[in-house]
Amino acid sequence: THSVIVATGANSRWLGIEGEDDFRGGGVSTCATCDGFLFRDEPVVVIGGGDTAMEDALVLARTSSHVTLVHRRDSFRASKVLAERVKFHDR
């Protein structure tokens, strides 16, 4: 089973990719705090590079087996403190 948390900031922004609508609420979510427990002991992917993505990655790291962060730029937009926490987290 594969799941994706889309961390888009204060307002949810969907990626607009094929299949995204089909899996909303069933593997694709925009709220790690709300839905993270559904992915306990599962590998997850967080898409984004800002503070929300970093915070969601850290939330999911508590319960998920592995967190992969996908970002389109060569550097994160998140605060340095959050980005460092995520980079050096063991999951």
Catalytic residue check, 34: yes
Instruction: Say which of 22, 35, 41, 74 is annotated catalytic.
Output: 35
Q: Which residue is associated with the tokens 């069933």?
A: 26
φ, ψ of residue 80 to 5 degrees: the values are -60, -40
Instruction: Say which of 31, 41, 56, 74 is annotated catalytic.
Output: 31
Instruction: Say which of 22, 34, 56, 90 is annotated catalytic.
Output: 34
Asked whether the CA dihedral 76, 46, 63, 31 is positive or negative, the reply is positive
**Catalytically annotated residues:** 31, 34-35
